[in-house]
Amino acid sequence: MLNKKSVDDINVKGKKVLVRCDFNVPLQDGKITDENRLVASLPTIKKLIADGGKVILCSHLGKPKGEPKPELSLAPVAARMSELLGQEVVFAADPEVVGPNAKAAVAAMKDGDVVLLENTRYRKEETKNGEAFSKDLASLCEVFVNDAFGTAHRAHCSNVGVTQYVDTAVVGYLMQKEIDFLGNAVNNPERPFVAILGGSKVSSKISVINNLLDKVDTLIIGGGMAYTFAKAAGFEVGKSLLEADYIDYANEMVQKAKDKGVNLLLPVDTVVAKEFNNDAPSRVVEGSMEPDEMGLDIGPKTRELYKDAVKSAKTVVWNGPMGVFEMPNFAKGTIAVAEALAEIDATTIIGGGDSAAAVNQLGFGDKMSHISTGGGASLEFLEGKELPGVAAANDK
């Protein structure tokens, strides 16, 4: 499933190469506030420049919903990429993305030049994978490189549609790294293999839990979704996040873990408060909560239990925080897990989204083997789904 051609398998000298990047960076007053995604794209782009390709970059930014919104223009990205690459990145400012500016800029390119197209989501067809925009994009290039894992779980024009109209479609280094880490973890992990799932909802992680119970040695549950499991076990959860429709499902998963011999760990104590507020007085509860209380983090015994559970692991996948980590008083569970993963000698994979933000904010980023750039995409990977953006690349 994952044996895809990459930028190392092709020769791009003198060829026009369209690269789908993930430049969906946060902007504040036209300034980029976090450029991790830009930096992550550099190895692929530099490789294509060095090989003498004519490098045409494209990406979406935010949700302009199919119309040009000046505040979501990629112009600031072109300026910053010029600095990061040490050469001019020509910005093709066309509201229709592939317009006169783009065509003229591409026609004028010499080997090693770089052009950036405008936000692909300025076009309505982009998110619907419409034929006209896919053909427009393909008309600019001879080779297509997909290096945007963050959108790999969506079939859009700029990552899937365009591949139908070019002969050569490969993955970039960032995409390759994601496929290698996540693919190996799920399909061929070094054991013991431990998965840690947090976040607010069981419903969004159903298929993930189900798929991972077939693969892991230990599954650890924390965050808001733990309260549905607690309720299923007969405890009262007060005003905590609860998905009553999923109580039966939680019980099925507990049974499945038993049948499979998987060690399923649920919180044994919880930090509760009466309101959703960092300064609310809190206490630690084992068992049932009062009707006016809500769980906001895993308790101290649970933190120790989870730390012990990962000590001997050789592969760990973590997706979703253990509590309301944006509030310092309820971040201890998430911090404990991050610290535990930072200390072990194992392949540690953080599945994008909130867990990636937590690990980076807490300063543990460089201690992890891999931090995924795509929350939704990494979740679908862990569910065992085929990602359209990966599937569309040429097989080796």
Active site residues: 37, 201, 353, 376
H or E element in which residue 144 lies: strand 143-146
> Is 58 within 8 Å of 41 (Cβ atoms)?
no
Cα 390 to Cα 381: distance, rounded to the nearest angstrom: 10
Non-local (6+) Cβ contacts of 211 within 8 A are 186, 382, 383, 384
Cα 381 to Cα 386: distance, rounded to the nearest angstrom: 7
Q: Torsions phi, psi of 43, nearest 5? A: -55, -45
H or E element in which residue 283 lies: strand 282-285
Cα 145 to Cα 181: distance, rounded to the nearest angstrom: 19
> Is 87 within 8 Å of 102 (Cβ atoms)?
no
How far is CA 366 from each of CA 24, 160, 172, 324, 341, rounded to the nearest angstrom?
22, 32, 22, 23, 11
Cα 88 to Cα 85: distance, rounded to the nearest angstrom: 8
Cα 345 to Cα 377: distance, rounded to the nearest angstrom: 26
The tokens describing 304, both together, are: 């120790």
